[in-house]
A and B are shown apart, each in its own frame.
Chain A
């Protein structure tokens, strides 16, 4: 049992872990779970929408690239609810390692219109929509993205 000391410096953490099959469509399970948690934490609707897009993009990348859509391997999503923020980490098995150049690139629609591949917006959207974003290597050796969204009072 925790102490009922109001001066306790330790935030009460609540962690949810999802292990999703690497099949497109399952990103929505992570998206809906994150949205449900964020609403309960008191995030405004527009912030919940931003979170949904960021989570769906991160999990979609993990499914498509990191795990090469092999449904037998899992994408691991950790949602950590703190008093003042929600932290989401998404890890894959690293069958394809993320090109670090992708993590800082800002696509321009005028360039993209000329290209055959019109994609490449996912990571940029995550960076634009979340308060903190960090790309690292997961304990599994795969790709990991850690995203933080702050709760504004």
Chain B
């Protein structure tokens, strides 16, 4: 029975935005994978970072703590952070917790890329 870590993390670049794809569960088991993906894109000089979720993800409070850790690093490294692909429920949770103050929430990856371009042009 598969009860533990089922998170796949990938990184890619799209039009100057470092995208971290998160497919699966963001719980305590996800910490190392997410942090190492973030370090990887940061070491490559990323200025714009997008955490791209899938609608059906399970994110718990341990996962939220990991994401707050990313916000701390993003602020320290003077990057811009956004999230996309969150379900309505987790968009609500992100707003409740206050993560939305530090990471713009977009419905889709395409919208996020457009948003980052606008930011870059400003």
Give me the interface of A with B, judged by CB distance under 8 Å.
23-29, 46, 49-50, 53, 56-57, 60, 108-110, 112-113, 117-122, 125, 128
Contacts and interface: CB of A to CB of B under 8 A. Distances in A.
Interface of A is mostly: helix
The dominant DSSP class at the B interface is helix
A120 B65 CA distance: 8
Nearest to B6: A25
A50 B105 CA distance: 19
Contacts of A57: 60-61
A125 B64 CA distance: 11
A46 B88 contact: yes
Contact of A121 (B64, B69, B101, B102): B64
B119 interface: no
A121 B89 contact: no
A125 B68 contact: no
Contacts of A27: 60
B65 A119 contact: yes
A120 B68 CA distance: 12
Given A24-B4, A49-B89, A120-B65, 15 more contacts: A25-B4, A27-B60, A28-B58, A46-B92, A49-B87, A49-B88, A56-B60, A60-B62, A118-B65, A119-B62, A119-B65, A121-B64, A121-B97, A122-B60, A125-B93
A21 to B, nearest CB: 10
B114 interface: no
